[in-house]
Amino acid sequence: MCSNIAVLLSGNGSNLKAIIDKGTKVSFVASNNPKALGLQIAKNANIPSYSWKNVSELEEEVLKLIIEYNVKLLVLAGYMRLLSKNFVNSLPSKFIVNVHPSLLPNYKGMNAIKQALDDSAQYTGVTIHYVDEGMDSGSIIKQNIIKINENDTEETLKDRLQKIEHRLYSDIIKSILIKNQ
């Protein structure tokens, strides 16, 4: 598949790694966190990587890079900043996707796994959705539900949710790219 995606991340980059391992071509990776482990994953895979702490600058530069690399889909993979209205509206609709570790609209924002546990929720899951200018609020593409066990901790739940994310997100990105060809 020759369609290009770009990835924005802030942290570990395990979703980036899964996307790379499944064979999707990543044109560049950008982060608001220069120390993000995900940037190292990009470097190890010979993918150009960039970081800007200032998110306005990051958005401005990423818009230029999207054109330069002829990017077809922008993938948020643990990018922990809200994109500006101006940035989102500068791109076509359904151009940005995100993965979130809850059954949206429940438990938006940071610490979604802890929010579900603190709420004594019986179920949680993974949501993949298009990104609009709101917080975790764009239209939902796919959700996978799992039961929360009595003895689940943040770590055990995160581990199960991320296993789902790594499979589901890569598959959905591929299918969007095929559909948009």
Residues in 100-159 at the binding interface with ligand GAR, rule: CB under 6 A? 100-101, 112, 136
- Of these, 8, 160, 165, 170, which contacts ligand GAR (CB under 6 A)? 165
**Which CB atom, from 38 or from 138, has the smaller least distance to ligand GAR?**
38
- Contacts of residue 94, Cβ cutoff 8 Å, sequence gap at least 6: 130
How far apart are CB 17 and ligand GAR at their closest, in Å?
8
- Give dist(CA 72, CA 14) in Å, integer: 21
> Among 17, 72, 100, 129, which one carries the catalytic annotation?
100
- Contacts of residue 130, Cβ cutoff 8 Å, sequence gap at least 6: 93, 94, 96, 97, 98, 138, 139, 141
Q: Does 12 bind ligand GAR (CB under 6 A)?
A: yes
Query: By beta-carbon distance, which residue lies closest to ligand GAR?
Result: 78
Q: Does 38 bind ligand GAR (CB under 6 A)?
A: yes
**Which CB atom, from 14 or from 124, has the smaller least distance to ligand GAR?**
14
- Give dist(CA 173, CA 97) in Å, integer: 8
Angle made by CA atoms 165, 169, 173, in degrees to the nearest 5: 175
- Of these, 3, 6, 8, 15, which contacts ligand GAR (CB under 6 A)? 15
Write phi, then psi, for 151 (nearest 5 degrees). Answer: -95, 10
- Give dist(CA 104, CA 100) in Å, integer: 8
Q: Does 51 bind ligand GAR (CB under 6 A)?
A: no
- The verdict on whether 166 is a catalytic residue reads no
- Give dist(CA 131, CA 43) in Å, integer: 26
- Which amino acid appears at position 1 of this protein? M
Q: Does 9 bind ligand GAR (CB under 6 A)?
A: yes
How far apart are CB 110 and ligand GAR at their closest, in Å?
7
How far apart are CB 65 and ligand GAR at their closest, in Å?
20
Enzyme catalytic residues: 100
- Enumerate binding residues for ligand GAR (CB under 6 A): 9, 11-15, 38, 77-78, 99-101, 112, 136, 162, 165
